[in-house]
Amino acid sequence: MPRAVFDLLWKTLNNDQEIFAYVVNRSANGDHYWVFAHVTPSFDSAGTKVGYHSNRRVPNRQVLTEHIEPLYKTLLQVEQAEDSPATGLDKSFQAVVDLLAENKIGYNEFIFSLGV
């Protein structure tokens, strides 16, 4: 799981916005499994952020195979190519920003354009 995707997730949530993302989770026995997550900040009646809420569902296998797994593999390669984890994260995050700019689309729109 690329760190850049988690970075984007937390930056989005810290800006009080929702995000849709493909996430690799790890089960208790060490296996991994994919989920399609919708994560939103939760607010109290005064508008103060009090936590986060996530709904997860089984992702479309074709979308994973054709789009997400290759993208995440590329992002991981960018991250791991750097001696500094911070530099790797910055470059991987920039790769996501560049991808979105090329497509003239926001992250959530990009994810849904893949055919969730």
Cα separations (Å) of 95 from 13, 28, 56, 64? 20, 32, 26, 19
pLDDT in tens, 39-84: 999 999 999 999 999 999 999 999 999 999 999 999 999 999 999 9
Asked whether the CA dihedral 106, 113, 16, 45 is positive or negative, the reply is positive
pTM of the model: 0.87
Where residue 67 sits, what CATH number does that domain have? 3.30.450
User: Is the pLDDT at 115 greater than 90, yes or no?
Assistant: no
Q: Which domain, by its residues, includes 94?
A: 3-113
Residue whose structure tokens are 């988690």: 6
pLDDT in tens, 1-27: 899 999 999 999 999 999 999 999 998
Residue whose structure tokens are 């939103």: 40
The predicted pLDDT at position 64 comes to: 95
Instruction: Indicate the number of domains in the chain.
Output: 1
Residue whose structure tokens are 């690329």: 2
pLDDT tier at 116, thresholds 50, 70, 90: confident
